[in-house]
Structure 1
């Protein structure tokens, strides 16, 4: 408490001491550091690097030690703004991308470069321009992986001195001029129509091949069926002829056996004469021609005249 009888000088001295006490208390409190996870505090002592504080509780010397830099050790993304690039065939394209980097050495990231983020972005832009300058426009759309790999390679070499690691670089957009874009769209449409015509022609060709193969298979099946039918018919006729011949042979053998019997030849002769007369009866009047013997009463002479008489 300030005495009511205190002079202005005494009051001023008390106020100064109060400020000094508050300042000292603030400095002592400031000397206590709580470092979060995935962070690093770079400490300087009297303007010179002293140590790097990792995650946890730390106490510094007031008025002597100070946290000069705070580095975030987590992976971070940096947008690379759009830039104009010329391809090898002198086409101006606009390219932008994104870099994924991480601080691996807080000391180099603090003292190796003023601003590693800005430096990485600028180096990514210049490397992208140089790589695209070696590629044709069509290849710039196809070789994104090559461009990204080249940028990562260059940034990694520079990042060794900057205390950072570049994990990857991705190209977000490659935008050609409007006239080139329209020409590319026409080319794509032409290629698409070409592929459609080719696919249609291939389909028509395959359809014709399938139909011809079907017709060929059908003709082969028909010819094979006809061949088998003729073979079956021939075999049937052969079996029929063989059966008739066998039956005829058996009949002749039976007739021969009958002739050998007593009176067999007379029976055969009578049978032949009867068949001959039946044949004459079956002839028409126009075709019938009869030769009669002189003696009609001699039956044997009549049959002999007809060629069917009994030969004794």
Structure 2
């Protein structure tokens, strides 16, 4: 092995030995180099085999290192490919989820708007609307051909509600109720058709008079704002 791979060491040792032996004659050996080694047959064959084995070993190392690097590069490429594929799948899921969320939001908004429209359409009538509808219903009932009329509400309650609609205060309604004695125990039996028609017409006439009076007062206030 030293002959094959450590020729520099052998050259230095030979130079030192020759320098010592030739020093007594005044000769200085500066450099020694082995050009060729020619061992006997068996040694030469062993050296050749060893050299061949060493070359094969180095070639195997190089091949293994190349295969290792190739495997690393292949694995790295596969890893990057899987990462890119997973990232693409994640982005795809995010986009699908976002689209589904937007779709649900739009559907919910549509349902909410529909509910608002239904709520507005089915909103409970205020007292004024109920009063007007009650008076109109009473008028239509009075125009019928029946000899008896069954009222689904109390006349006193309707009159009170009409008074509130026309701006009457609670005190005024109490005074009116006292004067007219509109309590349930005094009203007695249910009025007949003619009485109901007459009462309804009188109520409607009173309402029209009060409305006209209110309109005149409002017109007067507009024409003379300083008063």
Q: TM-score, normalised by structure 1?
A: 0.34
Q: Which has the higher helix share?
A: 2
More strand by share: 1
